[in-house]
Amino acid sequence: MAYDYKQRKKEIYKILHSKTDVLEKGNISDIEHETGGELTYSNGIKGYVTSIFVDIVNSTGLFKEKKDKTVAKIIRIFASEVIQILNDTQLFKTIGVRGDCVFAVYATPTKNDINEVFNMSVEINTLRKMINKILNENDFPIINYGIGVGGSKDLVIKVGRKAIVNDLVFVGDAVINASNLANIASRNGIGPIAIDTFVYGNICKQETEGNQNFPKWFQKSKNQDLEYYHGDIIITKFNNWIEEECWWIKINSKN
């Protein structure tokens, strides 16, 4: 057994009895760099964050029914393109992949920041049409996915050991809500984009100023104790290009 449980017991006690400061901040963007207040392994920082989770629907069936090479190609396309969108921002972020789910957490101290993250979810929703058109043209199975967006004022801490893992953990509703909503979106009549009440409340006014029909595009619903809004919104220009202007090229390889 490589795990030195006797030694690690001492480390656990050290953590339990160590001094831990929590710094209240509206913006966590500079937690790695702020002089005298950076996030360390002995403190925590609270700030507003917004999270997106994108989860493939019925991935278990896909993995069981299709050849490994087919699954590998589909997952690689899905993950790489979603990450491309999630990474295309100046907001402080952390991005990751958990099995068939891609996620990101952003520092969003302003309503404009929250709105930017929401717009990513719309772009990711439109992206599905492009991915599926390419998959269909090349005789691959198409996919569906649910997009969950959540926001809150979260506690951010570092965990692990610096030489091995340097991970941020977000403790609060943003990540939990986004993950839960991604698991119900695009299923049982729920729209592909599901956002919690915190996010909806912060973007509704701005989005409605741009298009007065915005509130009509979302339905309010509830899953156990989680209230949320869901809908199916796409980027018109992107969608038109998919439908009308792009010539699709078949991939010269077997599934």
Which pLDDT value is given to residue 83? 93
**How far from chain centre, in Å, is Cα 208?**
24
Which pLDDT value is given to residue 69? 79
Which pLDDT value is given to residue 33? 47
Residues of the chain with pLDDT under 70: 1-38, 66, 161-166, 245-255
pTM (two decimals): 0.85
Which pLDDT value is given to residue 62? 75
